[in-house]
Amino acid sequence: MECQKAALQAVQHEAESAKADLRQEFEMREEHLKQGHSKKVTETELLLFDLRGENERLETQVKSARDKAAGLEERLREMAEQADSAAESFHLQPEIREMEMMCRQERSEREEAQAQLASLQEDYRLLEMELEEAAGKVERLTDECQERSDQANQWYKTLQASKEQVLELNAKLESLRMERGNSRGSAGNSLFGEVDDRRLQVERKYVSLQVKHDSLEKRHNSMSQQYKRLKAEMSSLLCQFSVVGGRCSPHKETGGGSETGSVREGIPRHQTTQT
């Protein structure tokens, strides 16, 4: 009994030790996952903060331009009132001419500021439209690439199955040829012809699938090149968008690729030999 108790205690001790080790490992893994999640959340918040900062800077510039235009208009109104008052006296003609010149200058500055504001707003609108269009193209191209990848994988599996059928039929055909050499019976000839017809049919299907697979692979390569060009265009648009806001942010310029997401180029390049 004492031996059994001692053995039971040893087993319990080992179980408690293993349980503690597992708990420690679980806590370490949980802490690692929490740190990774916290890091990703922090990175996302920083990116969002940068984007909001760029938008706020652009809005501040637009508001500043509007305030400047309003101030110039108010100054023009005040100068016009002063000019009307000064016109009542003949002795103030030189001052009136000077004020009229100042009014024309202020009016010119106001019109220039309004033109700059309109140009800035138009550039902002066009860049937003181009950015949305490029993002849509990248999303459509990503979906199409994935669809083509799945289709290519399916065709490749069918291609491999057809290749195995061709090999199997060739083996049967070779066996029938040997049997035909030993026996010249009509039943053997009929079975030989049937197997040969089936072999030719499977070979034609195999060749057709091979051609489709090669064509799809070429289309995939072309779409990959188009996707890279769209990524470059989006990076350029993001840079231009930041320039309108006052500066070109390297963080946003490199973030164009992650914003569009990545295309999984999953079409395998299998080398197949036709039997």
| Choice among 10-24, 72-86, 240-254 with the minimum mean pLDDT | 240-254
Q: Does residue 70 register a pLDDT over 80?
A: yes
Q: How far apart are the first and last CA of the chain?
A: 74
CB of 73 within 8 A of CB of 110? yes
> Which helix (DSSP H) or strand (DSSP E) does residue 6 occupy?
helix 2-86
Residue-level pLDDT at 89: 61
| Euclidean distance between CA atoms 127 and 136, whole angstroms | 14
Q: Does residue 68 register a pLDDT over 80?
A: yes
State the Cα angle at 122 between 71 and 67, rounded to 5°: 10
Structure tokens at 183: 């026996």
CB of 226 within 8 A of CB of 148? no
| Choice among 51-65, 105-119, 231-245 with the minimum mean pLDDT | 231-245
CB of 217 within 8 A of CB of 267? yes
Tell me the per-residue pLDDT of 201-229, one tens digit each, with 9 for 90 and over.
777 776 777 777 677 777 767 777 776 77
- CA 205 and chain centroid, separation: 37
Q: Does residue 185 register a pLDDT over 70?
A: no
**Who contacts 127 (Cβ-Cβ below 8 Å, separation ≥6)?**
237, 240, 241, 244
**Sorting pLDDT into bands at 50, 70 and 90, what band is 253?**
very low
b/e burial code for range 176-195 (CB count within 10 A of at least 16 → b): beeeeeeeeeeebeeebeeb
Radius of gyration over alpha carbons of the chain, in Å? 39
Structure tokens at 152: 């290519």
